[in-house]
């Protein structure tokens, strides 16, 4: 009887130990599940914080007024804003691509002075084929190739997109990878009627401003949660005294409405008042740079409050 009692007690203890081990195992699993659930949202928050730190900037077109973008970038740099992606259209794409290639705003300014961008006719040469455009862009291509010798989007130091209009499909394209960088930037600069379209891989492209003057979609695609759009105010009242100012007024009115159409896609908008300068004021590069810098600094202070 005594042996049988001992055996029974041992069985009870064995069962109890087995139950205890199962309970401990379940408690461990529950603890792991608890921390998994708890840490999941934390990781999500960390990813969201990381995304908030990704900043995208879009520089609109605007002829000579886009020279103010040099000051815009200068103000962003001085404020410590790290740009992860930059987009541009028309003349804004020229400023943007040089910045994406590693040139500082001051270096871009000096390049424009050296290449006499303040005398815009020096960048272009008359085109004998009037059906293609009033002026040729071959001279500009040679100039730009000096500063973008790799001719590749993928070799830039900052992610860059430019907007161009596909003549065949009549739709906007945001190009940000592959080769033909110089050609696409020139296409983005090619105002219809004034400059000839650019043929790339059998397709003709011209200024993207006719459909997307301040490219915002690439910034969303690149997960930029802080999106800054910079553009000159193009619809300021201005007395038309010469015929050449008449077509600029027409273009300005059209393009300005295109800019405003996508403005709600940006967290921060920097509207540059060009003061007394217009889209043909290329010789006033220093003044426009100053406008861009001062007004961007003021805008950043307003957004930080």
**Residues across the chain:** 305
Structural contact between residues 36 and 184, judged by C-beta atoms closer than 8 angstroms:
no
Tokens encoding 219: 């910034």
CB 127 within 8 A of CB 134: yes
Tokens of 37: 């659930």
| Rounded to 5°, angle at Cα 192 from 191 and 195 | 65
Report d(CA 56, CA 69) in Å as an integer. 14
| CA pair distance 22, 29, nearest whole angstrom | 10
10 Å Cβ neighbour count for 194?
A: 15
- Residues 181/148, Cβ–Cβ less than 8 Å: yes
- Annotated catalytic residue 17: no
Does the active-site annotation cover 77? no
Whether 67 and 109 have beta carbons less than 8 Å apart is answered as no
Helix pair 285-304, 105-114: axis angle to 10 deg: 160
Among 106, 115, 87, CA closest to 282:
115
Which single residue is written with the structure tokens 């008449």? 246
- Name the active-site residue from 58, 60, 66, 90: 90
Cβ burial of 304 (10 Å; 0-12, 13-18, 19+) is exposed
Identified catalytic residue from 188, 190, 207, 281 = 207
Alpha carbons 15 and 61: distance in angstroms, whole number: 80
Instruction: Tell me the sheet residues that pair with 160.
Output: 86
Active-site amino acid positions: 90, 207
């Amino acid at each position: 009887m005594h042996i049988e009692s001992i055996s029974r007690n041992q069985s009870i203890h064995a069962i109890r130990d087995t139950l205890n081990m199962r309970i401990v195992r379940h408690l461990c699993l529950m603890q792991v599940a608890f921390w998994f659930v708890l840490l999941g949202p934390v990781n999500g928050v960390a990813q969201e914080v990381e995304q908030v730190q990704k900043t995208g900037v879009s520089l609109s077109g605007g002829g000579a007024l886009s020279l103010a973008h040099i000051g815009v970038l200068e103000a962003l740099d001085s404020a410590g804003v790290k740009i992860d992606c930059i987009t541009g259209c028309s003349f804004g794409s020229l400023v943007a691509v040089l910045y994406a290639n590693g040139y500082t705003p001051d270096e871009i300014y000096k390049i424009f002075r050296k290449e006499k961008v303040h005398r815009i006719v020096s960048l272009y040469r008359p085109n004998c084929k009037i059906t293609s455009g009033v002026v040729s862009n071959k001279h500009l291509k040679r100039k730009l190739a000096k500063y973008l010798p790799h001719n590749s989007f993928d070799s830039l130091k900052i992610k860059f997109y430019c907007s161009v209009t596909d003549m065949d499909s009549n739709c906007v394209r945001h190009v940000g990878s592959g080769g033909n960088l110089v050609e696409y930037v020139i296409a983005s600069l090619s105002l219809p009627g004034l400059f000839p379209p650019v043929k790339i891989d059998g397709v003709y492209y011209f200024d993207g401003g006719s459909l997307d003057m301040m490219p915002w979609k690439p910034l969303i695609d690149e997960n930029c949660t802080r999106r800054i759009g910079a553009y000159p105010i193009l619809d300021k009242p201005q007395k038309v005294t010469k015929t050449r100012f008449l077509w600029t007024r027409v273009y300005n009115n059209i393009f300005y409405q295109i800019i405003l159409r996508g403005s709600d896609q940006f967290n921060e908008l920097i509207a540059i008042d060009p003061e007394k300068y217009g889209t043909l004021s290329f010789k006033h590069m220093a003044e426009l740079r100053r406008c861009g810098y001062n007004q961007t600094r003021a805008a950043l202070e307003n957004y930080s409050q």
